[in-house]
Amino acid sequence: MKAIYITGIPLFLFFSCGSNEDNTDSNNVSETVTEDSVVVAEEETEVINSILISSKNVGLFTIGSEVPTLPTELKMRQFVKSEMSEGEPGPELTHNVIFNQLEDVLELIMDHQMDDEHHEDKDIQEMLVLSNYYETSKGVGVGSTLEEFQVAYPDAHIWYSYISDRYVMETDELKDVQFILDGADCNINPTGSSDLEPIDFIDFNVGSKIKKIRVY
């Protein structure tokens, strides 16, 4: 009887250890699935830049049209601002800022409609692209360099306007679209003798980037 009792102890221990190992493996599998689930969730919320800038259009938005129904990834907030022209304040216009979960992507300046009783900011008058969420068909957007713009659009030219105090790149391929540069990147002082004063590309720092894109 003693021999049977002694050999039974290691058998009991063997099955007990095997049970613990199985539980450990099960826990490891559970943790792996949880980690994979987190990665998938991050990929689903990633914003993919596949929306184009063209003449009169930025993605779903069109000059002269009302603000369309926004897709689920975009939201809108609003403010009113008095526009300045040649240093003088103009009428107050409504600005609708379109944003996603990461950043502001577009500013819509609305047309000021008036009648005897009230005014309505109904149609889009001007658009300012604020981030590289939108880009042209040739991959140019906010943050693209002056050199990248020249490669994409060989007919590119730059001018300065003292009325709006803007340095603007344009191409004939995109009518009514202006690519705005940072004046701090320009190494000369414009004379201000003309509303559209030509500026040479060599007068800008290498690697100068597009600050905003205006569509009107």
Stronger pLDDT, 51 or 55, i.e. the higher one: 55
194 confidence band (pLDDT: 50, 70, 90): confident
How far apart are the C-alpha atoms of 99 and 105, rounded to whole Å? 5
Q: In this prediction, what percent of the chain has a pLDDT beyond 70?
A: 69
Stronger pLDDT, 90 or 60, i.e. the higher one: 60
Please tell me the predicted confidence (pLDDT) of residue 186.
Answer: 97
Query: What is the topology classification, in CATH, of domain 51-215?
Result: protein yfey like fold (2.60.460)
* pLDDT tens, residue by residue, 170-181: 999 999 999 999
Domain boundaries of the chain, sorted by first residue:
1-46, 51-215
115 confidence band (pLDDT: 50, 70, 90): low
